[in-house]
Amino acid sequence: MQKGSNETIGRWFVALFMACSSTFPAMAEEVSPDVLVRKTTEEVLTVVRSDKDIRAGNVARIVQLIEEKVAPHFDFERMTRLAVGRAWREASPAQREALVREFRTLLVRSYSAAFTAYIGIAVEYRPYKMTPGETETTVQTLIKLPGGAPPMGVDYDMGNTPEGWKVYDVRVAGASLIINYRNLFAQEIQNGGIDGLIKSLIDKNSGKPVAAKK
């Protein structure tokens, strides 16, 4: 699989983390997307600033935090379907299950590796208004990076599911995480079909080197 910019991917993953990093078990359906983003962002910033293991770059602790607090608030099936694109319709149920599982693993692993570089961020929330009954929305924020780096606009595309609002795409400075992966996946599918993409994801998740395409 082609390797994108580590800095850009890192920004996407910190944006993913800040979008929905805590659980609201009984209130998920009642919390509006902007309030969910604001409350969970502030909560997670408090956690990462006080957790010595996270600040020290303890990957196991970071992965644990992501699995417990972040993963439940993302629609991984929808993210995978959008990233795979038209080929999703031709995939078997077993292939779809494998794609969702491996893409989810890839997102968690990639984010864990990039996390510690973005601990010292601050977040500004943009004005938000949602039409009553709306099932799709976008919450906009501005993430201010440490060290005087230029701030980056982050948009969270969210859908209302039976389990509450969930993130299905993140756009950093207008660049979509899903479109980035769709372009990468399209090349893999062209070269080896759905099974080729699954194998590439498995190899990447296991740390195996991915052979260069001719």
Residue range 133-156, pLDDT digits in tens: 899 999 999 988 878 888 889 888
Question: Is the separation of the CB atoms in 141 and 18 below 8 Å?
Answer: yes
pLDDT digits over 17-37, tens only?
555 443 444 444 467 888 877
Query: Strands of 175-176's sheet, edge to edge?
Result: 122-125, 136-144, 152-161, 164-172, 175-176
Helices vs. strands in the chain: H and E counts, helices first = 7, 5
pLDDT computed for residue 45 by the predictor: 74
Mean pLDDT of the chain: 81
The model's confidence at residue 61, banded by pLDDT at 50, 70 and 90, is confident
Max mean pLDDT range (19-23, 40-44, 172-176): 172-176
Rounded Cα–Cα distance for residues 188 and 199 (Å): 10
Instruction: For residue 145, give both structure tokens.
Output: 């990076």
Rounded Cα–Cα distance for residues 74 and 167 (Å): 5
Residue 132 backbone dihedrals phi, psi, to 5 degrees:
-55, 135
Tell me the whole-structure pTM to 2 decimals: 0.81
pLDDT computed for residue 109 by the predictor: 82
pLDDT computed for residue 29 by the predictor: 44
pLDDT computed for residue 7 by the predictor: 52
pLDDT digits over 76-91, tens only?
999 999 999 999 999 9
Rounded Cα–Cα distance for residues 3 and 50 (Å): 33
- Structural domains in the chain, sorted by start: 6-206 (3.10.450.710)
Rounded Cα–Cα distance for residues 22 and 116 (Å): 18
The model's confidence at residue 194, banded by pLDDT at 50, 70 and 90, is very high
pLDDT computed for residue 67 by the predictor: 81
Number of Cβ within a 10 Å radius of residue 74: 22
Question: 79: closest CA among 41, 59, 108?
Answer: 108
Rounded Cα–Cα distance for residues 111 and 13 (Å): 5
- Which of 2-6, 53-57, 141-145, 176-180 comes out lowest in average pLDDT? 2-6
